[in-house]
Amino acid sequence: MTDYGEEQRNELEALESIYPDSFTVLSESPPSFTITVTSEAGENDETVQTTLKFTYSEKYPDEAPLYEIFSQENLEDNDISDILKLLALQAEENLGMVMIFTLVTAVQEKLNEIVDQIKTRREEEKKQKEKEAEEAEKQLFHGTPVTIENFLNWKAKFDAELLEIKKKRMKEEEQAGKNKLSGKQLFETDHNLDTSDIQFLEDAGNNVEVDESLFQEMDDLELEDDEDDPDYNPADPESDSAD
């Protein structure tokens, strides 16, 4: 007859010596404990970590122990799901044998894989950003390649905008034409226009100044009197041009 209690006590002693800094007993009946598992340091010294909680069933190791994720650091939900699936598979494969060390070792390897995946994912993200930046730079210097399709789209948009401009201009010109009065309309509308010149002269009065220096003395002007010309004949228009 299998002494399950003895096997469980022996395994607990072994686990405590293997994981002195990460093994913690939670209870003795039923035996329950935690083991903290940390991955190897990845790029930039990042790590992922989980604390596994195990509880022996009455007939362990012929029955699988109870297990759960007690706590975790830097793990995604899908990572936790993968770890639980891994524990279920390993427990099924190792029934009949003490298995806690095997389960913890499998989780340790899984955490190392996760760190590598994080590194790979970051490298891919970096490459993607570099590619996007390169594509953006190409677009900046080379523009969008002209195709029949995008040219027709551009032309349709351009024609529509041009038509709107023409309509707006025509509307403005039409409105301006309506608002512009003819001379007759201005005269009929503003009754001051018919007296404006007279009013101007009256307002000026004696204030109108004439610069007499602009005119020569009449005596200084050499004007030829046609009557003094002996050949002048008032009845003959051509007599003046005979000279």
Strand locations in 39-174, DSSP E? 49-55, 66-73
Q: Digits of tens for pLDDT over the chain (243 positions)?
A: 679 999 999 999 999 999 999 999 999 999 999 999 999 876 667 889 999 999 999 999 999 999 999 999 989 999 999 999 999 999 999 999 999 999 999 999 999 999 888 888 778 888 888 888 887 777 776 666 778 888 888 889 999 999 999 999 888 888 877 666 666 666 666 566 556 556 655 665 555 565 566 555 555 555 555 555 566 565 555 555 545
Q: Taking the domain 4-119, which CATH number applies?
A: 3.10.110.10
Q: Is the dihedral of CA 196, 201, 205, 210 positive or negative?
A: positive
C-alpha 184/C-alpha 179 separation (Å) is 14
* Whether this model's pTM surpasses 0.85: no
Cα–Cα distance, 75 to 50 (Å, whole number): 8
| 21 CA to centre of own chain | 50
For 119, the enclosing helix (H) or strand (E) is helix 100-142
